[in-house]
Amino acid sequence: MTLFNLAGKTAFVTGASGGLGQAMAIGLAEAGANVIAVSSSESVQTVESIRALGGKAELIAADLSNEDILEDVVNRAVGIYGGIDILVNNAGIIRRTPAVDHSREDWHDVIDLNLNSAFFLCQLIGRHMIERGSGKIVNIASMLTYQGGINVPGYTASKHAIAGVTKALANEWAGKGIQVNAIAPGYMTTNNTAPILKDEKRTQSITERIPAGRWGSPEDLKGPVVFLSSGASDYMNGHVLCVDGGWMAR
Ligand code: NAD
């Protein structure tokens, strides 16, 4: 299992206070990584769970949609364990309103966090990785990287763009020892999808379309994120890995 071993590595995981980010942070810690859990929430649940497992974790509470603070957040994070080996750009929000009613505020809020903060964190941490000659970046995409969705135009734009950024950076940085890839989760049970889960009919029709016959759980991303953060994926660049119970295969 040495290929997947992350002992001595430090992972910077955004949106790590709950949902997919929390499970991925814990999965990376289980594989041996120190974790810097970055989130708008002050919740210490993720770092406490990691410490309870015998791992090392620190919390940085920050609103990542504010571009002006990102450099400071990264500098603070680098100072904690002396470097960053893995960046997981997971923090994301969704606003559900039809395109004709989609407000400028909703559009900008989604793009600011899901796309702009993800790109600027790639840039800031990428510079640091280039200096060190190695690094792993995992961006979190979506089924709406491929499909249009309904009533979520800003979110769809951000998730299509995340795949483009992943490929663009992979091309520039593959030769510098940095692998930039993405995970596209299918329908997973988190706060993000809670409004859909309240609608029994819609939930049932989605479940029927998933070949695996169930929604994903946050824990379903542990293996894929460890894989893309470890030496096991050293020859993967610019790939978007669907973890979707077969949704895209259908
Ligand atoms: P979630 O709402 O449970 O978690 C979102 C996380 O982002 C939380 O930790 C929250 O504190 C953090 N966050 C929100 N705004 C922030 C800000 N301004 N600054 C810093 N952190 C902020 O949602 P989730 O389902 O776990 O979503 C995680 C990622 O996965 C998102 O990028 C989402 O688009 C993506 N995704 C989710 C699904 C799904 O089915 N749940 C499917 C595909 C993709």
C-alpha of residue 2 to centroid of ligand 1, in Å: 30
Q: Could you list the beta-strand ranges (E) of the chain.
A: 10-14, 34-39, 57-61, 86-89, 135-140, 178-185, 240-243
| Alpha-carbon dihedral angle through residues 138, 140, 143, 145, given to the nearest 10 degrees | -80
d(CA 54, CA 177): 30
pLDDT band at 34 (very low <50, low <70, confident <90, very high): very high
3-state DSSP assignment of residue 44: coil
Q: Note the CATH architecture for domain 2-183+222-242.
A: 3-Layer(aba) Sandwich (3.40)
pLDDT the model gives residue 55 = 98
pLDDT, tens digit (0-9, with 9 covering 90-100), for 81-93 = 999 999 999 999 9
Helix intervals (H) in 82-221? 104-110, 118-132, 153-173, 194-197, 200-209
Nearest to 88 by CA among 186, 22, 42: 22
d(CA 30, CA 54): 9
Handedness of CA 181, 186, 191, 196 (dihedral sign): positive
pLDDT, tens digit (0-9, with 9 covering 90-100), for 234-245 = 999 999 999 999
pLDDT at 73 over 80: yes
Q: Is the CB of 121 under 6 A from ligand 1?
A: no
Instruction: Please state, for a pLDDT cut of 70, what percent of the chain lies above it.
Output: 100
Instruction: Compute the chain's Rg from CA coordinates.
Output: 17
pLDDT the model gives residue 185 = 98
pLDDT the model gives residue 235 = 98
Examine the residue annotation and report whether 155 is marked as an active-site residue of this protein. yes
Which atom of ligand 1 has the smallest separation from the CA of 63?
19
Which atom of ligand 1 has the smallest separation from the CA of 215?
40
pLDDT the model gives residue 210 = 98
Q: Is the pTM of this model over 0.75?
A: yes
C-alpha of residue 46 to centroid of ligand 1, in Å: 14
Q: Is the CB of 188 under 6 A from ligand 1?
A: yes
pLDDT at 1 over 80: no
Q: Is the CB of 15 under 6 A from ligand 1?
A: yes
pLDDT, tens digit (0-9, with 9 covering 90-100), for 214-225 = 999 999 999 999
Q: Is the CB of 187 under 6 A from ligand 1?
A: yes
Contact 222, 11 (CB under 8 A): no
Q: Report the nearest-CA residue for atom 33 of ligand 1.
A: 92
Cα distances from 152 to residues 93, 98, 124, in angstroms, run 11, 7, 29
List the domain boundaries for the chain.
Answer: 2-183+222-242
Q: With left for phi above 0 and alpha for psi between -120 and 50, is residue 53 left, alpha or beta?
A: alpha
pLDDT the model gives residue 9 = 98
Q: Report the nearest-CA residue for atom 43 of ligand 1.
A: 142
Instruction: Considering the candidates 81, 146, 155, 187, report the single residue annotated as catalytic.
Output: 155
pLDDT, tens digit (0-9, with 9 covering 90-100), for 136-174 = 999 999 999 999 999 999 999 999 999 999 999 999 999
Q: Report the nearest-CA residue for atom 23 of ligand 1.
A: 192
Token couple for 49: 């769970």
